[in-house]
Amino acid sequence: MVGGRSRARPPRQLTDDPEAWPQQPGADVAAEAVRYIASTLAQAMDEQGLSLRATAEGSGVNRQAIADLLSGLSWPDVATVARLAAFTGAGLWPPQSGTDRSGKH
């Protein structure tokens, strides 16, 4: 399975308190990226007064896929995140942390 065994569980299950998703951080770096995306998307939708239906129609992303992302039940793919970011204008990509491993500065 791509992503290893951790992707067999939804991202919210990789936090200390799944019921506190997306406020509860966790140690899994991939789940933290999804948590950042979900939290930022929810904030953008709230600020813009967007419903799930309006976000789905405007972004071309399935409404249930958005609901699952927001609730931490799915691992979104890059195309989904890109479409949601383009539609909302929100910076959904998690900020870079750690060392630049590319060798470029």
Q: What's the pLDDT at 33?
A: 95
pLDDT over 90 (residue 7): no
Q: What is the DSSP letter of 26?
A: B
Per the structure block, which two tokens stand in for 52? 């799930």
Q: What is the CATH number of the domain that holds 61?
A: 1.10.260.40
Which residues face 15 on adjacent strands?
26
The more confident residue out of 27 and 78 is: 78
Give a yes or no: residue 98 inside a domain: no
Per the structure block, which two tokens stand in for 70? 């927001």
Give a yes or no: residue 62 inside a domain: yes
Give a yes or no: residue 83 inside a domain: yes
Give a yes or no: residue 100 inside a domain: no
Domain count of the chain? 1
Burial class (CB in 10 A: 0-12, 13-18, 19+), 51: exposed
For residue 52, give its domain range. Answer: 17-88
Give a yes or no: residue 41 inside a domain: yes
What CA–CA distance (Å, rounded) separates 72 from 51? 18
Which H helix or E strand runs over 14?
A: none
**5-28 average pLDDT score:** 87
Give a yes or no: residue 43 inside a domain: yes
What CA–CA distance (Å, rounded) separates 81 from 66? 10
List pLDDT tens digits, range 23-43.
988 889 999 999 999 999 999
Give a yes or no: residue 94 inside a domain: no
Give a yes or no: residue 36 inside a domain: yes
